[in-house]
Amino acid sequence: MFNSNKEPLCTYYNIIFETHHALYHSNLYFYQMNRNVMNYTIEVCCESLYSAQVAANAGAHRLELCTALDLGGLTPSQGLINRVCKSVEIPVFVLIRPRRGNFCYSAGEVDVMLSDIGIALDSGAAGIVSGALDTCGNIDIETTSALMHACKGKPFTFHRAFDRTADKFQALEKLITMGVQRILSSGGASTAQLGIATLKRLIEQSANQIIVMPGGGIKPENIREIAETGAKEFHFSARQAVVLHSTLPQSVVKLNNGELDENQYFECSSEILQRIIKQLTH
What CATH number does residue 232 fall under?
3.20.20.380
Domains identified in the chain, total number: 1
Q: Answer yes or no: is 4 within a domain.
A: no
Q: Answer yes or no: is 26 within a domain.
A: no
pTM, to two decimals: 0.84
Query: What's the confidence (pLDDT) of residue 39?
Result: 87
Q: Distance between CA 45 and CA 186 in Å, rounded?
A: 15
Q: Answer yes or no: is 126 within a domain.
A: yes
Nearest to 95 by CA among 76, 115, 123, 114: 76
Residue-wise pLDDT tens digits, 205-263: 999 999 999 999 999 999 999 999 999 999 999 999 997 777 777 667 777 776 667 77
Q: Answer yes or no: is 81 within a domain.
A: yes
Q: Answer yes or no: is 31 within a domain.
A: no
Judge residue 159's burial from the number of C-beta atoms within 10 Å of its C-beta, 0-12 exposed, 13-18 middle, 19 or more buried.
buried
Asked if 180 contacts 148 with a C-beta cutoff of 8 angstroms, the reply is yes
Nearest to 90 by CA among 67, 65, 60: 60
Residue-wise pLDDT tens digits, 108-157: 999 999 999 999 999 999 999 999 999 999 999 999 999 999 999 999 99
**Residue 166 has what DSSP assignment?**
S
**H-assigned helices in 39-77:** 49-58
Q: Answer yes or no: is 199 within a domain.
A: yes
Q: Answer yes or no: is 265 within a domain.
A: yes
**DSSP E strand boundaries for 116-192:** 127-130, 156-158, 182-185
**DSSP E strand boundaries for the chain:** 41-46, 62-65, 92-95, 127-130, 156-158, 182-185, 211-214, 233-236, 239-243, 264-268
Q: Answer yes or no: is 24 within a domain.
A: no
Domain that holds residue 248: 42-281
What average pLDDT score do residues 51-68 get? 97
